[in-house]
Amino acid sequence: MSLLDGSIRRRDFLKGGAAATAAVAAMGLIGCAPNGGSEAGAKETDADGMNPHVVESDTAILGDEGSWVTVECWANCGGRCVNKAFVKDGVVLRQKTNDDQEDTLETPQQRSCPRGHSLRQHVFNANRLKYPMKRKSWQPGGGENAHGDLRGEEGWERISWEEALGYVAEELKRVYADYGPRSVVCMGTEWQVLNLLGGRVEWNSTESYGNWYLAPIQMGTTVGNGFPDALLINDRLDMLNADTIVLYGINPAWHNGGNPSYYYRLAKENGTEFVFVGPDYNVSAAMLDARWIRVRPGTDTAFLLAVAYEMLRLDESGESVVDWDFLHTYCVGFDAESMPEDAALDENFREYVLGTYDGQPKTPEWAAEICGTPIEDITWYAQKVGKQDNVTLLHSYAPSRYKGTIDLPQLFMTVACMGGHLGRPGNACGSVFNTESANGGPRLVKLGNPSKSATAPNPLERPEICKPEIWRSLDEGVYYNRGGYRKGPIDNNFLPQEEIRFDPKIIVNDFHNPLQATEDINRGIKVFKKMDMVVDVHYRYTLTSQYADILLPCTTPWEGNLDKNKGELDVATTSTMRLSRFQCSRDMILVTQPIIAPMYEAKNETWIFSELAKLLDLDPSELYPISDIQSYYDKIAGAEVIDVDGVTYKTLVTITQDDIDAWDVEGEPQEGVISLQDLLEQGMYIVPREQGDNLGYIGYKDFIDDPEANPRGSASGKMEIYCQAKADSINGIGYAQEELKPYPTYHPSTYENSFSNWEAKESGTYPFLMYQPHYLRRAHTNYDENVWTQEAFQNPVFISAEDAAAKGIETGDTVLVFNDAGKVLRQASVTNLIMPGGIAMPHGPRTYLDPETGIDFGGNENMLVDANTQDEFFPHMNGYNSCLVDFEKYDGEALSADCMREPVLWTEE
Ligand SMILES: Nc1nc2c(c(=O)[nH]1)N[C@H]1C(S)=C(S)[C@@H](COP(=O)(O)OP(=O)(O)OC[C@H]3O[C@@H](n4cnc5c(=O)[nH]c(N)nc54)[C@H](O)[C@@H]3O)O[C@H]1N2
Ligand SMILES: Nc1nc2c(c(=O)[nH]1)N[C@H]1C(S)=C(S)[C@@H](COP(=O)(O)OP(=O)(O)OC[C@H]3O[C@@H](n4cnc5c(=O)[nH]c(N)nc54)[C@H](O)[C@@H]3O)O[C@H]1N2
Ligand code: SF4
Ligand SMILES: [Mo]
């Protein structure tokens, strides 16, 4: 039986490896097996004896009294999975995922993760913001009136929408008039109303992407869906053609929502060998029985330079490892004979690796001292990624969210090119992010453009502050503008840096949780306390809300109304809903619906910003030219699906005049392949796949087939191992202390900098490198209040057995992690699966600050990560993972499990 025989159901496949399945469950993988495969609403027990979805107590379901509706799961997790809610009379009784269609290996069900399964605990959480609120002692007028010192520490009073928006409008008018637009700092996304008032200062940073956002297009790779080096890997069915798949610093089981982990497993079962490179052997690596190539945190540049050295050495000794034809046909700058026309420097990568310029050959011995990789593993890896095999090289961005990794992206690409791994079946190189992980290529089905969005551009010149230094800038009243790292479709709009003095008075936010997710919370709190006003538009009470003055409660996408007969039409079309357009896997689209009326006094954000615009004497239609429902309709009406030829797209949805009338929208009836009713009922459209169909994808194929006709976006049209534009763009900012070379070179890592004397190996004050994996329990700071997932995932700090033993720490002990920026408590998880010297502190939990001691017993990593993690070359780069700390067994009261903790609530006083 072929693995891709469509007749096999996924469960049968899994049953073949019961032990593996159990192991997977124990590690908490996303994309869990459904509880039974019976039809929704049916009572019969599954023939296999697995737990059925529907149990006797589900009387409403059994009695056919409610309905399953596909609902939005809106976190910034990278996924858009199918989540269904069973709703009766506006009450959500059950949740499930996509189990209502056949599950084949080629067209599997699109299943959701534990966060999605527990989403109703998020929507109906006690920390939902219920009414507009004002911090008790805050008063308009600025200065003393704000009583800024009490921010975060006093109660709230409920006010009306009229009062709340009145305060915000009044203060904005005052501050714009007295101090100008640069005094208003926006940390959110929907506040374009400020642009109509004259603009605002904003942050700009590479955030997720680390150094991978340095000149991707100029180097010959790409920006896909806004993500660097994305969408150019091969599609999921092609992955089975790889002899080897390298997971470079990836943990798909935790953070590539949806089916990616499952697709990797299929390749594994089909005989593909997996290799994992990173400082810890994560659950995905374990699931795939990958060979672990260890590298210390943030030292990949040393490792890969030695890999390149070994590939050259092996090749010279007669092993056919380096694909010279590839390097000379498709690349520039590998050696003297392949230099690009615009090269300003007579240097090339090969000579650099051999040590011609700096006297230091990049040997495994040289690298091992830095990256800690066993020398034989470096050689093994060099052989493995050589030209003889089909190798798929996949990376996440985590390895580049470190200082000293400015050249890692170009180097990663270079090693792939040395093995010739682009543009052929089983060969690929690129990033995995979101649901494109394991599944590259253009969308097979796509939603139309949701034309409604606030679109007023920021009229202010040079408004961007590099995020790593945002609190310092606000605190000191001066920032250094260096242009934006990304603007529109073009990357790297750097400008020569300019000092700008300003007088920040107001911070506004929505759609982010900046105080909690930005470096250096203690400095952030200090800045918040200095403001005249802080406004947070949010549906839940976050750390940012806690330190704000005015809270404007918005709805979640579960709230609204699509039925004219039940009242005014109301559907969320804010930033989160816009994400749905591209965060689903290429195989599917989701069409979700609201299922409950807005809770308490929460309002749709369009309403909030339109009302605010009116109070500011602006015309809301300038902000929102199209209604929410029209935008929702446009998204559906404009949906297209690919034809079997794999080239042409056709209209997806059949829409009648009655449909148009039911929503009072503008449109023309149209003919598609599925009716609007069926689409809404199913809540998704999945494109079926078959082995050998025309819907597969091989990244870079057109370029490899005909490089002249299909040049890359770089100056030479080729993959630039020497990229003049890369060097020029960074060097032109005037920020770095030294010139960046156009080809990848070595820069000292945080590991080396953790020593007070590297040569003598004398440890510095904070000798441990604390990096921050994105954690399965939540999506950043979001969804973390759900007790079910808190019970399932404890959020410990992961410490190596060797380091723990040296400090007398055992699993479960409470540990104090500290540096000059702050102090954090967590329980220890002691493991052999992390390299000594590194500790892994999960990203995103809420801060619970003890004002007496300054200790955060919530475990927020940004109490410790501070502005020192800013990159030395690329100032927009958040080098979050470069955080140096020390830790010790805590002698105070032991920390209780997070799920036992009282939630932080807003209080009316
Ligand atoms: N559950 C969940 N999913 C998420 C998110 C979330 O918060 N929660 N966030 C989403 C978003 S916006 C983002 S940006 C992505 C983040 O996705 P990634 O950038 O992939 O995230 P991380 O979890 O930081 O790191 C992944 C793995 O990289 C490895 N690693 C760490 N440091 C190094 C290193 O120096 N070298 C190498 N080779 N490997 C290293 C570790 O094994 C770690 O488990 O996740 C997305 N998905
Ligand atoms: N130290 C450290 N810090 C990090 C990282 C790290 O690895 N280490 N990772 C970084 C990365 S990659 C990222 S992407 C950022 C994420 O940083 P943030 O974007 O600030 O984090 P989220 O928790 O996703 O915040 C989104 C917030 O918006 C709310 N929200 C969701 N939908 C809506 C909506 O429609 N309207 C409104 N008004 N609010 C909504 C959610 O409740 C949530 O509180 O964190 C970064 N911070
Ligand atoms: S992966 Fe993301 S979209 Fe999918 S269910 Fe989980 S939280 Fe929701
Ligand atoms: Mo991110």
pLDDT in tens, 578-590: 666 667 889 999 9
Query: Which of 105, 123, 141 is the endpoint of a domain?
Result: 123
The residue written with tokens 């940004």 in the block is: 862
* pLDDT at 596 > cutoff 80: yes
The one-letter amino acid code at 455 reads T
With cut-offs at 50, 70 and 90, classify the pLDDT of residue 577: low
Indicate the top mutation candidate among 247, 255, 264 to test ligand 1's pocket, ranked by most ligand atoms within 8 A of CB: 255
Q: What ranges in 348-407 are assigned the alpha helix state H?
A: 349-354, 364-371, 375-384
How far does CA 196 lie from the centroid of its chain? 30
The verdict on the CB of residue 640 being under 6 Å from ligand 1 is no
CA of 128 to the centre of ligand 3 (A): 20
From 99, 123, 147, the end of a domain falls on 123
pLDDT per residue as tens digits for the range 329-388: 999 999 999 999 999 999 999 999 999 999 999 999 999 999 999 999 999 999 999 999
* Integer Cα distance of 439 and 234 in angstroms: 6
Alpha helices in 584-627 (DSSP H): 605-615, 620-623
- Residue to substitute in 32, 81, 82, 584 for testing ligand 3 pocket (most ligand atoms within 8 angstroms of CB): 81
CA 490 vs. chain centroid, Å, equals 20
Measured by CA distance, the residue closest to atom 6 of ligand 3 is 113
pLDDT at 907: 76
Average pLDDT over residues 514-519: 98
Q: Are residues 437 and 456 in the same domain?
A: no
pLDDT computed for residue 475 by the predictor: 98
Nearest ligand 2 atom to the CA of 208 is 12
> Quick one: 313 and 424 in the same domain?
yes
- Work out which ligand 3 atom sits closest to the CA atom of 257: 1
Q: Which atom of ligand 3 is nearest to the CA of 78?
A: 2
pLDDT of residue 28 exceeding 70, the answer is: no
Distance 626 CA to ligand 3 centre (A): 29
Q: pLDDT (tens digit, 9 = 90+) per residue, 782-792?
A: 999 999 999 99
Give the three-class secondary structure for 178.
helix
Average pLDDT of span 256-265: 92
pLDDT at 909: 58
The residue contributing the CA closest to ligand 1 atom 16 is 774
Q: How far is the CA of 631 from the centre of ligand 2 (A)?
A: 25
pLDDT digit string (tens) for 795-832?
999 999 999 999 999 999 999 999 999 999 999 999 99
Task: From residue 76, give the alpha-carbon distance in Å to each of 82, 115, 445, 578, 580.
Answer: 15, 12, 21, 11, 10
pLDDT digits (tens, 9 = 90+) for 626-665: 888 998 999 999 999 999 999 999 999 999 999 999 999 9
CATH at residue 817: 2.40.40.20
Q: Are the CB atoms for 620 and 455 separated by under 8 Å? A: no
Residues 417 and 478 in one domain: no
Does 257 fall in a domain? yes
Please report which residue ranges of 388-446 form alpha helices under DSSP H: 408-418
- In sequence order, the β-bridge partners of residue 33 are none
- Check pocket membership of 776 for ligand 3, CB cut-off 6 A: no
Q: Ligand 1: does its nearest atom lie under 6 Å from the Cβ of 779?
A: yes
- Model confidence at 434, pLDDT cuts 50, 70, 90, reads confident
Q: Kindly give the distance from the C-alpha atom of residue 207 to the centroid of ligand 4, in angstroms, as a whole number.
A: 6
DSSP 290-336: -EEEE--TT-HHHHHHHHHHHHHHHHHTT-----HHHHHHHEESSSG
Ligand 2 atom showing the smallest separation from residue 861 Cα: 1
Distance, CA of 518 to CA of 470 (rounded, Å):
9
d(CA 514, CA 546): 12
Amino acid at 216: P
d(CA 592, CA 26): 31
Residue 432 lies in a domain: yes
SS3 276: strand
825 ligand 2 Cβ < 6 A = no
Specify the pairing of strand 762-763 against strand 755-757: antiparallel
The verdict on the CB of residue 579 being under 6 Å from ligand 3 is no
Which residue has the CA at smallest separation from atom 14 of ligand 1?
A: 208
CA–centroid distance, 208 to ligand 4, in Å, is: 4
Distance 863 CA to ligand 4 centre (A): 18
Whether 29 is in the pocket of ligand 3, judged by its Cβ within 6 Å, is no
Q: Which domain holds residue 895?
A: 754-900
My answer on whether 231 and 289 are in the same domain is yes
For the domain that residue 648 is a member of, what is the CATH number?
3.40.50.740
CB of residue 649 inside a 6 A radius of ligand 2: no
DSSP for 55-86 reads: -TT-HHHHTT-SEEEEE---SSSS----EEEE
Q: Which ligand is nearest to the CA of 776?
A: 1
Q: β-pairing, 478-487 with 464-466?
A: unpaired
Residue 42 pLDDT greater than 50, yes or no: no
Domain boundary among 102, 123, 144: 123
Atom of ligand 2 nearest to the CA of 862: 1
CB distance 556 to ligand 2 below 6 Å: no
Q: How far is CA 370 from CA 144, 310, 383, 553, in A?
A: 53, 16, 21, 50
The answer to whether residue 273 scores a pLDDT higher than 80 is: yes
What distance in angstroms lies between residue 427's CA and the mean position of ligand 4's atoms?
27
Q: Are residues 895 and 823 in the same domain?
A: yes
* pLDDT tens digits along 118-163: 999 999 999 999 999 999 999 999 999 999 999 999 999 999 999 9
pLDDT at 38: 33
Closest residue by CA, ligand 3 atom 2 = 79
- Judgement on whether residues 138 and 234 belong to the same structural domain of the protein: no
511 torsion bin: left (phi>0), alpha (psi -120 to 50), beta (else): left
Residue 741, domain member (yes or no): no
Kindly state if the Cβ of 298 falls inside 6 Å of ligand 1.
yes
pLDDT in tens, 62-112: 788 999 999 999 988 888 899 999 999 889 999 999 988 888 889 999 999
- Residue 700 falls inside a structural domain: no
Ligand 3 mean position, distance from CA 820 (Å)? 36
pLDDT for the residue numbered 29: 38
The number of folded domains in the chain is 4
* Atom 1 of ligand 1, residue of closest alpha carbon: 776
Cα 753 from chain centroid?
A: 28
Candidate of 396, 585, 771, 834 to mutate for ligand 1, largest count of ligand atoms within 8 Å of Cβ: 396
Strand partners, 870: 878
Q: What is the pLDDT of residue 493?
A: 87
Phi, psi angles (nearest 5°) of residue 189? -120, -30
Same domain, 505 and 637: yes
What pLDDT is recorded for position 753? Answer: 97
| pLDDT band of 459, cuts 50, 70, 90 | very high
Determine the 3-state secondary structure of 168 from DSSP.
helix
- Per-residue pLDDT at 11: 38
The residue count for the chain? 909
Under 8 Å between Cβ of 588 and 686: yes
Nearest atom, ligand 1, residue 777 CA: 1
80 Cβ inside 6 Å of ligand 3: yes
Q: How confident is the model at residue 454 (pLDDT cuts 50, 70, 90)?
A: low
781-800 b/e (C-beta count within 10 Å ≥ 16 → b)? bbbbbbeebbeebebbbbbb
Question: Within a domain: residue 767?
Answer: yes
Residue 39 has pLDDT above 80, yes or no: no
Looking at residue 215, its pLDDT comes to 93
Percentage of the chain surpassing pLDDT 90?
83
Nearest CA owner, ligand 1 atom 26? 250
Question: b vs e for 578-614, b when ≥16 Cβ sit within 10 Å of the residue's Cβ?
Answer: bbbbbbbbbbbbbbbbbbbebbeebbbbbbbbbbbbe
Centre of ligand 3 to C-alpha 784, Å, is 13
In the numeric block, which tokens belong to residue 301? 């540049």
Residue 71 near ligand 3, beta carbon < 6 Å: no
pTM of this prediction? 0.94
Mean pLDDT of 842-854: 95
Band (pLDDT 50/70/90 cuts) for residue 542 is very high
Does residue 260's CB lie within 6 angstroms of at least one atom of ligand 3?
no
Task: Answer whether residue 454 is part of any domain.
Answer: yes
* Cα 73 to ligand 3 centroid, rounded to whole Å: 6
Contact at 8 Å (CB) between 279 and 297? yes
- Residue 905 inside a domain? The answer is no
Round the average pLDDT of the chain to a whole number and report it: 91
For residues 478 and 471, is the Cβ–Cβ distance under 8 A? no
The residue-averaged pLDDT of 422-434 equals 94
Distance, in Å, from the CA atom of 430 to the CA atom of 245, rounded to the nearest integer, reads 12
Ligand nearest to the CA of 751: 1
Sequence-ordered list of residues with C-beta below 8 angstroms from that of 609, at least 6 positions apart, any chain: 190, 191, 192, 193, 454, 620, 623, 624
Residue 43 scores a pLDDT above 80: no
Number of the ligand closest to the Cα of 250: 1
Helix axes 300-316, 364-371, angle to 10 degrees: 160
Same domain (yes/no): 95, 163 = no
Determine whether the shortest distance from the Cβ of 512 to ligand 1 is under 6 A: no
Task: Answer yes or no: do 573 and 716 share one domain.
Answer: no
Instruction: Tell me, using a 6 A CB cutoff, whether residue 679 lines ligand 1.
Output: no
Looking at the structure, tell me whether residues 483 and 601 fall in a common domain: yes
φ/ψ region of 515 (left if φ > 0, alpha if ψ in -120 to 50, else beta) reads alpha
Q: Is residue 309 part of a domain?
A: yes
Three-state SS letters, 88-132? ECCEEEEEEECCCCCCECCCCCCCCCHHHHCHHHHHCCCCECCCC
Nearest to 698 by CA among 646, 650, 640, 649: 646
Please calculate the CA angle 462-878-883 and round it to the nearest 5 degrees: 145
Please tell me whether residues 91 and 240 are part of one structural domain.
no
For strands 823-831 and 855-856, give the pairing. Answer: parallel
Q: Which of 63-77, 484-498, 704-718 has the highest mean pLDDT?
A: 704-718
Query: What is the distance of C-alpha 23 from the center of its chain?
Result: 26
| Residue pair 560/570 in contact by the 8 Å Cβ criterion | yes
Residue 428 shares a structural domain with residue 572: no
